[in-house]
Structure 1
Amino acid sequence: MNGYLVAAEGSGDFATIQAAIDAIPDQNSGMFVVRIRPGVYVEKLHIEKPWATILNEQQAGEYSLSRVLSGEDDWALFVKLNNS
């Protein structure tokens, strides 16, 4: 399973959720996971990528599902997430 890690403090692949979503390959044909470490993320998200799965880390190594996009969804979401 392909994916990226988002960490607001800079220890992941990206510091913002949108940057990780934007980096998902356009021709992605399977589940692509964006894991979000605890932190505060204030972003306006625009998601056009197929099969994007967003997981929030609850505790070290434990994740909960936030949203799965599996098609040609095109939507925007305003997010203020304190995932700590």
Structure 2
Amino acid sequence: MSNDILKKIRAIEFEALLGSITISITVILVIVNVFLRYFLGIQYSWIEEVSVGCFIWTVYLGATASYRKRGLIGVDAVT
């Protein structure tokens, strides 16, 4: 029983860690892209694509970590 609990904790921590890494990559790439574009006049289109992809992965990983912790918002509708 304790092994199952440890596996769940490790999985949540791994998803949160990976989500933190992907959001950090997104922030760094956006800052670099703004600096390159406005101060040096250089444009790289791949930076925007990679940052959007990392942000999407951040959302997915955050949603799965929240779901496992039962931290998602629930909506009840009464008809």
TM-score normalised by the chain length of structure 2: 0.26
Q: Which has the higher strand share?
A: 1
Q: Which has the higher helix share?
A: 2
TM-score normalised by the chain length of structure 1: 0.25
Higher RCO (Cα < 8 Å, 6 or more apart): 2
